């Protein structure tokens, strides 16, 4: 029997509706959450991502401040802009679109963002809080989006073996940390495998929950999956489509094979992707709510 499809668009819609309700409550107090999105250069893919975030802000009633710096912007230019946004009371969250041009030190940019406005959860203070299980930081957008997908799909990680393929600072590491926390929606036994792991399939075949975030198109084949496992595909890759002569989007999982083995699976597109923006919007509102409480 083919796996149940976990509809990321539908679940992101639920999260967005919750966010919209929170925005309305803030409006009753005369407050509007604000998100600044910084783009350095004119990379077409980055422009698409930035514009999609600005549109989602407008949909949900969130103020957006779109800032574009030239491709030859200096570190001083970027740091001055971050300082300005840190001080702007209309801005509750700051996001710098990645990757920046090569002359920009991304780590320095992240470190310059006010941790209370770090809605991507890249600042070392928020990453540290995440690791030790504190809840007064932010939860990173894609990893937390995965946990929300599991929760709203009726999949409880508690007591299960979760295997994460990939050890990036953006997805793999924070997701593993979140899954192992002693908390609702977590409590899993977690294994992380990566490019340095010999015989990755030995571990993936033992996973009750398998999360692929390795950045290799269709890397996970059907014979690498335990029958009945839940498969979450974080990958977004473009590969040539001989049928159309154009590129098409695929994940890190060979969907046509995996769907015949798993009990539930996310598609690409339409799985984890919509959740990332939904959580970003939610984090921006959280930042505004916290600022009001601190006032």
User: Rounded CA gap, 138 and 150, in Å?
Assistant: 19
DSSP class per residue in 177-200: HHHTSSSTT---EEEEE-TT-S-H
Verify whether residue 88 is a known catalytic residue. no
The tokens for 281 are 């919007």
Spot the catalytic one: 114, 116, 118, 120: 120
β-strand 246-250 against 237-241: which pairing, if any?
antiparallel
Residue 135 φ/ψ, nearest 5 degrees = -110, 5
Verify whether residue 103 is a known catalytic residue. no
Q: Report CA-CA distances (Å) from 45 to 48, 99, 120.
A: 5, 10, 19
Spot the catalytic one: 56, 97, 117, 226: 97
Q: Which residues pair with 193 in a beta bridge?
A: 165
Long-range pairs of 10-18 with CB within 8 A, sequence gap ≥ 24: 11/148, 11/149, 11/152, 11/153, 11/274, 11/275, 12/145, 12/274, 12/275, 12/277, 12/278, 14/152, 15/148, 15/275, 15/278, 15/279, 15/282, 16/56, 16/59, 16/60, 16/278, 16/281, 18/282
Closest-CA residue to 201 (of 144, 160, 261, 250): 261
For 159, counting Cβ atoms within 10 Å of its Cβ (0-12 exposed, 13-18 middle, 19+ buried), the class is exposed
Verify whether residue 120 is a known catalytic residue. yes
Residues labelled catalytic: 53, 97, 120
């Amino acid at each position: 029997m083919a796996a149940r499809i976990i509809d990321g668009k539908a679940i992101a819609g639920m999260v967005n509706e919750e966010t919209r309700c929170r925005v309305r409550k803030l409006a009753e107090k005369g407050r509007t959450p604000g998100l600044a999105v910084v783009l350095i250069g004119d990379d077409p893919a980055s422009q698409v991502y930035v514009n999609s975030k600005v549109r989602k802000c407008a949909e949900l009633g969130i103020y957006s401040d779109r800032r574009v710096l030239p491709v030859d912007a200096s570190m001083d230019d970027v740091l001055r802009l971050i300082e300005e946004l840190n001080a702007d009371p209309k801005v509750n969250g700051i996001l710098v679109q990645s990757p920046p041009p090569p002359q920009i030190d991304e780590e320095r940019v992240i470190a310059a963002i006010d941790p209370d406005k770090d809605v991507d959860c890249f600042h070392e203070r928020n990453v540290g809080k995440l690791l030790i299980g504190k809840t007064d930081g932010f939860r990173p957008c894609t990893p937390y989006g995965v946990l929300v997908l599991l929760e709203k799909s009726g999949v409880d990680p508690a007591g299960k073996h979760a295997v994460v393929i990939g050890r990036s600072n953006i997805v793999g590491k924070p997701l593993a940390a979140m899954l192992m926390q002693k908390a609702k929606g977590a409590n899993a036994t977690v294994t992380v495998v990566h490019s340095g792991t010999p015989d990755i399939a030995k571990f993936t075949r033992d996973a009750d929950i398998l999360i692929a975030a390795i950045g290799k198109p269709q890397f996970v084949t059907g014979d690498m999956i335990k029958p009945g496992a839940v498969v979450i595909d974080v990958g977004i890759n473009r590969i040539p489509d001989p049928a159309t002569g154009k590129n098409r989007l695929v994940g890190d999982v060979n969907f046509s094979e995996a769907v015949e083995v798993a009990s539930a699976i996310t598609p690409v597109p339409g799985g984890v992707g919509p959740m990332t923006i939904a959580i970003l919007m939610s984090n921006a509102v959280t930042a505004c709510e916290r600022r009001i409480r601190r006032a």
